[in-house]
A and B are shown apart, each in its own frame.
Chain A
């Protein structure tokens, strides 16, 4: 492996981790049948995006974007870009709201279905669906 490729891999470490986390999160959401685990997966997925944004904001050699007290800005000092960080604060709040709402829904689902496993919920729902079908066939039969 020549040094260029190595630099590319190491230099973009944040982005590789972003992809790794994102795929891990998405996989959990799709593959797991437990409703709480799905929310955890969703959280990992969202966190990966925070990492992407924070990485975007980093300027090589840049320091924290804070004005000196005397407001005399040295033009030679390089600052990191604070905007993506601010954006991601909003996204973090959205993520917390989503998580808490998801968990609240799971509590209600457990109260009604007495389970938080997807396949068991599907069983209950299929039974309801069958009884509905039966009722509508009965009703249709009376009229034919």
Chain B
């Protein structure tokens, strides 16, 4: 056979970090099911998630200088074998996803207990781990078809996790069903796109794809692939007109699941979009500029205003935050549409900052649901007094959502405005500020309900359990911390943007 004989080289544990990142939660999931013990499920899930987080930190430290790690699965060299490729862009997203997951799990314990019947919780932790596996796998892999497989692993477990909200509201079922239909259409579009790419190039390795698309003259097959991939991933991202699944899914899912998904799932999809638009299809790709200017830019602006306006008129805090997520995704898309290094850097940092901000906000909502019985504004009346710690953390996360100086949200908005001015698009810069004002209105509605309205309930709500308040506060303090000390996030997103715009991932 033509394959070269490869001598077995003993690898140390550090060399195996990229695969362990995904393998640990992946193995832990069936372990939880097989053991079937309600007592052990949570510790296993937490340990697996924490190990993933530690590995993600180690990986991020290794690639911050702009280098990359290439891991060959089973020792088969790419492009024939499957490759995991870690560079600054995906190590940063891995850090975010595993970090949020590790913080959500301690929080989820009390929240699940209140919202989910006890017999389902063990399986729920297994699904949570599978969802985490899928998200991490999508991010770390360097193989285009592998992205599809991991995307479906995370999506299928997400549908079930959302449906678990039915114990609180039966509309969780229809929300999960609608997400299943839309998500499957999106994933199938994506796989059609991959099929076209394979047809035109005969490879599935992303770096190899990038090289072959670059040398090949532009063909209709490749353009069709580009269109299918952008639309398919766009459904997962919830780009404005494709966002219909998101509000209901976020509103009716169990609180801890919403916090997890809001912080990670759409962010991972944005990463896939970036990876395909800029790494697989080179920045010079012919359809790139028109797509950005005619499709991404107007829809990003529509999301920023349309979804923000809808958010203002909501009566349910959880649904309001879901619409605000769609608006915030608009900012990330705007950064992509600038098509500059500054713009991509703003996208990467907004991805991170919005992830932690939204996770904190939804965690607070979960605490309110637990103690006040719901997340409608009228449930929140007077909670500023009876649940001071949760409410204060919500205010901190809220001002980070607006982008007030001194919070993480400010850094990303600032970079976005700068990128707009660099590109000479000053009307866009004004629009960014204007849509932030809309965020002021909807966050103010929450603060008004919490602090400025007297409660009508005879019994004031009790404090949320410590296991929920502590993770919430860690997340809220992270919103402040990354607003002052932005060295890590700035350098990671700068290296990531440079890597993405450099185009070719070059096989050497």
Contacts and interface: CB of A to CB of B under 8 A. Distances in A.
A113 B170 contact: yes
A35 interface: yes
Identify whether the interface residues of A are mostly helix, strand, loop, or mixed. Answer: helix
Given A45-B188, A49-B191, A49-B192, A132 B315 contact: yes
Interface stretch (B7-15, B104-112, B376-384): B376-384
A102 B177 contact: yes
B145 interface: yes
A64 interface: no
A42 B198 CA distance: 23
B445 to A, nearest CB: 11
Contacts of A78: none
B177 A35 contact: yes
Contacts of A102: 177, 180-181
Interface stretch (B113-121, B156-164, B433-441): B156-164
B245 to A, nearest CB: 13
Nearest to B145: A87
Given A56-B195, A108-B173, A143-B453, A46 B181 contact: no
Nearest to A99: B184
A87 B456 CA distance: 60
B376 A125 contact: no
B152 interface: yes
Contacts of A45: 185, 188
Interface string B171-213: 1011011001100110110011001001100000000000000
A142 B185 CA distance: 46
Interface size on B, as a range, is 35 or more
Interface string A131-142: 011011001101
A83 B149 CA distance: 15
A101 B187 CA distance: 16
A30 B419 CA distance: 39
Contact of B377 (A42, A113, A136): A136
A35 B149 CA distance: 25
Contacts of B454: 143
B1 to A, nearest CB: 9
A98 B180 contact: yes
Interface string B405-434: 000000000000000000000000000000
Contact of A38 (B173, B181, B192, B315): B181
A90 interface: yes
B166 interface: yes
Nearest to A109: B173
Contact of A101 (B160, B171, B192): B160
B198 A56 contact: yes
A100 to B, nearest CB: 10
A25 to B, nearest CB: 9
Given A94-B152, A101-B160, A46 B170 contact: no
A98 B151 CA distance: 13
A139 B456 contact: yes
Contacts of B156: 94, 97-98, 101
Contacts of A139: 376, 378, 381, 456
Contact of B315 (A56, A101, A133, A143): A133
Nearest to B379: A139
Q: Which of B185, B188, B192 has the most CB of A within 10 A?
A: B188
Contacts of A142: 456
Contacts of B176: 105
Nearest to A91: B191
B206 to A, nearest CB: 15
Contacts of A113: 170, 174
Contacts of A52: 192, 195
Given A52-B195, A56-B199, A139-B378, A121 B453 contact: no
A98 B376 contact: no
A79 interface: no
B378 A140 contact: yes
Interface of B: 145, 148-149, 152, 156, 159-160, 163, 166, 170-171, 173-174, 176-177, 180-181, 184-185, 187-188, 191-192, 195, 198-199, 315-316, 376-378, 381, 453-454, 456
Interface of A: 22, 26, 29, 35, 38, 42, 45-46, 49, 52-53, 56, 83-84, 87, 90-91, 94, 97-98, 101-102, 105-106, 108-109, 112-113, 121, 125, 128, 132-133, 135-136, 139-140, 142-143
23 contacts: A29-B185, A35-B177, A45-B188, A52-B192, A52-B195, A56-B199, A94-B156, A98-B184, A102-B180, A105-B159, A105-B163, A105-B176, A105-B177, A108-B166, A112-B166, A112-B170, A113-B174, A125-B171, A132-B315, A132-B316, A142-B456, A143-B454, A143-B456
